[in-house]
Amino acid sequence: MRVCEICNAKKEDRIIAGMSICNNCFTRLQGLRNGNEDDLLFFRDPINVSKFSHNAKEYIDEVATDIEKSHRTAEEIIIERKRMQEDEMEKQEYARSLIGLYEYAVETILNEDHGCVDAKRMTELINKRAREGWKLHTVYSNELGKNALKVLGLVENSTACEDVLVFERKLMDK
């Protein structure tokens, strides 16, 4: 049984241009023909090329060269990806230098039975978190449902809500 002439590991499943290749390498070869940049980089990687048979090297070089004429070359793709990674690292470093990194915590407080905010509980929670180095970032109400209660012919409607408090604390200084 013959092995794949591209990856040199799997059994051959197909014959393409007189070469025995496996299904995985066939899929990569299709990607190369369709201009997939990741597949082009795979077929131009010296480590991968070292595994190719002589026939596979010639065939793939021909196909890759044709693709590079109408698309970007492997070197251009590598340079562009490195530049993009460097840009992203610079942006992250810049963001850290200006504002640092933060962590967040979420707390919820159920409203009182009559639907009013539990101001005492909220104040206690905000002060407790402030002593721990947190600052209040966001507050919003989350409606949980509506209640209707009929007692002695009187109807009382109320909405059950919880207040959601989002706290923020800086992790790292400049």
Hey, what amino acid is at 150? K
In 3D, which of 62, 9, 64 has the Cα closest to residue 35?
A: 64
Res 30: pLDDT: 92
160-169 per-position pLDDT tens digit: 788 999 999 9
Res 174: pLDDT: 46
Res 35: pLDDT: 87
Res 72: pLDDT: 82
pTM above 0.75, yes or no: no
102-170 fold: Translation Initiation Factor IF3 (3.30.110)
Which positions of the chain have pLDDT values less than 70? 1, 113-115, 145-159, 172-174
Side-chain-side CA neighbours of 18 within 13 Å: the count stands at 7
Phi/psi region, residue 18 (left: phi>0; alpha: psi -120 to 50; beta: rest), is left
Any idea where the domains of the chain sit in the sequence? Answer: 1-99, 102-170
Q: Which pairs from 50-53 meet CB under 8 Å and 24+ separation?
A: 51/6, 51/7, 51/8, 51/9, 52/5, 52/6, 52/8, 53/5, 53/6, 53/8, 53/19
